[in-house]
Amino acid sequence: MSGAGISAESGLATFRTESEDALREFGDNPPLWSRFDPTELATADAYNRDPAMVSHWYDWRRQQGARATPNPGHHALTTLQRAMRERGDELTILTQNIDGLHQAAGSEGVVELHGSLWRWRCLSCGDEREDREVPFAGYPPRCGACGDGIRRPAIVWFGEVLPEDAIDAAGEAASTCDVFLSVGTSAVVYPAAGFAEVAKARGARVIEVNLEPTPISGVVDWSIRGKSGVVLPALVERALA
């Protein structure tokens, strides 16, 4: 299970990093919710109130995403997934991130619990398609299929249900895995934050990689303090040795 922290070393801001020493890592790119009010931006009400402003804010994040490339943390998981597959094992990557960096690193079968910043859905005709052109020509972006609808990002806002197939895949993975890795997430947003506890309850060994303690640090078997771009390559190297 990955969160915004795994993409921090790719230059993308996290949401709610708290601790002083973790914040020192983000001098020029402070966490988003320390600068913006999530209820004004990451809810369907906010979008319906001001679709131009909310779609502009998400396009600002898209433009940063367009410049971001996977970091050694993403690549380490791709290496692990390929090596495990050769041994007949499976690594399911669950992510709360909408940046698409796991897929850009070559990971397959990535489960996007909160949708994707690259897919936008028309409110009128429901047409949903990937759009990598940055920036948008105007805000909110218009639908090219029906011609008059406006598009919203195909992501999960607060108060919105997660995609059923993603929830099912995450539940299946968490309840059948031997090892559950929680990487770069503050573990406060549900239902995503609940999967580590599901894995633990089913007897999996749970490892957390984070710069700071989180609400699940007391539950996991190992809570490794450090940058995922440094810790994950080391972990994977040891695991495959």
Contact 116, 97 (CB under 8 A): no
The whole-angstrom separation of Cα 241 and Cα 237 is 6
Chain residues 95-114 in contact with ligand BV8, contact rule CB under 6 A: 96-98, 114
- Name which of 14 and 107 has its Cβ closer to ligand BV8: 14
- Residue 34 has what DSSP assignment? G
- Least Å distance between CB 77 and ligand BV8? 13
Which of 12, 15, 139, 236 touches ligand BV8 (CB under 6 A)? 15
Determine which one of 74, 75, 102, 114 is catalytic.
114
Q: Would residue 114 show up in a list of annotated catalytic residues for this protein?
A: yes
Residue 124 touches which member of ligand BV8, Zn ion, none, C-beta under 5-8 Å by kind: Zn ion
Q: Could you give the string, one character per residue 168-207, with x where binding to ligand BV8 holds by CB under 6 A and - elsewhere?
A: ----------------xxx-xxxx----------------
DSSP assignments along 143-204, one per residue: PTTTSS-BEEEEE--BTSPPPHHHHHHHHHHHHH-SEEEEES--S-STTGGGHHHHHHHTT-
Which of 1, 10, 12, 22 touches ligand BV8 (CB under 6 A)? 22
Contact 115, 125 (CB under 8 A): no
- Token code pair at residue 93: 């990557």
Sheet holding 222-225, edge to edge: 179-183, 205-210, 222-225
Q: Could you give the string, one character per residue 120-149, with x where binding to Zn ion holds by CB under 5 A and - elsewhere?
A: --x-xx-x---------------x-xx--x
Which of 10, 17, 92, 223 touches ligand BV8 (CB under 6 A)? 17
H-helix or E-strand containing 57?
helix 51-67
The whole-angstrom separation of Cα 35 and Cα 76 is 31
Number of residues that bind ligand BV8 (CB under 6 A): 38
Where on the chain is the footprint of ligand BV8 (CB under 6 A)? 3-5, 8-9, 14-17, 22, 31, 42, 96-98, 114, 155-161, 184-186, 188-191, 209-212, 214, 227-229
